[in-house]
Each structure stands twice: as structure tokens, then as C-alpha cells.
Amino acid sequence: MPFELHPAPNPTRRPESDYLQTAWKQRIYPMAEKLGVRMKLPTVSPYPYTSLAFQGLEFAKDQGKGDEYNDAVFRAFFQQSRDIGRIDVLADIANEVGLDPEQFRAALEQGTYRDRVQQLLQTAYERIRVTAVPTTIIGRQRLEGLYPAETMRQVIESELAYEAAESSR
């Protein structure tokens, strides 16, 4: 589900900021290394707004390529420092995952998925009350931030046990 940490018109972060430099050195790089994920602090400055990328994701989902597009956008930003706030960059990414770049571009330029994304964002903000990424909701439990696999496993098992007990009543 889409979520914007800094929705327009709020300013987005700049990679040269002390906060991001410190966060990446102390938390993100060590976690990525531990998980075997190649990441680097994106150099796009300021960071792009993600509304167009989210609209592109909805287009990709409708074409059966949501997962591929989502993965490619993350790689583009967090490995290649590509500006995912630009339609031309997103159209190139769409093409890379087998989507028609002209149809994709037209959908973004025409705002075909703007309302859908706004509804999803509204759900995230108001109904689910997401305030951090990642936020994982498992049954009745909400986890904000990154958790070890064992913690996730325990939460899942706890929720499955709860559901089993509830269904047997």
C-alpha cells in the first residue's frame, strides 16, 4: 500500500542532510548488509515525491506486473539513484519490466490513477494510521519499523493461535 513520509507540498529530505547521512551509516547500511541487500543512499536531491511512482504501480498492477514494477522502482532509487519522481524515468522502468512505455506515460500524464492512489493514501493515513515505513499489520498487531524474522514469526503464530481460538468458540 502506498505511503508518503513527506507528501507534497512538504519538503522532502536531502541526501546530504546530517539526519540521512547518520541514519544510513548507523542503521540502514548495517541492516542491508545483514540481509544481503545491496543499497546505497540515493543521491537524487531533494528526494522525489512518490505520487507518480505510486500511480505507475497501479498501472502495473492492472497489467499484472505490479511486483516486477515495484521491485524495479526500488532498485532504481536505492541502487541506481534514479529520480523516480520523473515520468520519463518511470516510463523507462516500466519498459524494463515489459510494460508499454507509451501507455504508461499517457496514464501518468493524464492522471488516470491519481484518484485511486489518493484513496489508498487516505486509507493508509486515516483508517490504518500508518506513520512509519515499514508498517506491518498482522491480525490485531501492528509493527512499525524493521523486526527480526523471529519476532515476525512469533507475531504470526500468536495471531494464528488467536484466530483458531476465536473460530472454535
Q: How far is CA 90 from CA 42, 51, 56, 58, 165, in A?
A: 16, 11, 7, 13, 47
Give the pLDDT confidence of 141-165 residue by residue, as tens digits. 999 988 888 999 999 999 999 999 9
Give the pLDDT confidence of 85-132 residue by residue, as tens digits. 999 999 999 999 999 999 999 999 999 999 999 999 999 989 888 888
Residues 6+ apart with CB under 8 A from 166: none
pLDDT beyond 90 at 8: no
Q: Are 163 and 139 in contact (CB under 8 A)?
A: yes
Q: What is the pLDDT of residue 134?
A: 87
What's the first-to-final CA gap in the chain, in angstroms?
Answer: 33
Q: What is the pLDDT of residue 5?
A: 81
Average predicted confidence (pLDDT) for the chain? 93
- Over residues 70-79, the mean pLDDT reads 97
Q: How many CA atoms lie within 13 A of 33 on its CB side?
A: 7
pLDDT beyond 90 at 133: no
Count of other CB atoms within 10 angstroms of residue 85: 19
- Counting residues of the chain whose pLDDT is more than 90, the rounded percentage is 76
Q: What is the pLDDT of residue 1?
A: 81
CATH placement of domain 1-130? 3.40.30.10
Grid cell 504508461 is found at 104
Q: Look up residue 52 and give its amino acid.
A: L
pLDDT band at 168 (very low <50, low <70, confident <90, very high): confident
Q: What is the pLDDT of residue 84?
A: 97
pLDDT beyond 90 at 82: yes
For the chain, the structural domain boundaries read: 1-130, 132-169
Q: How far is CA 156 from CA 91, 123, 152, in A?
A: 38, 23, 6
Q: Look up residue 73 and give its amino acid.
A: V
Q: Which of 43-47, 51-55, 86-90, 132-136 has the lowest mean pLDDT?
A: 132-136
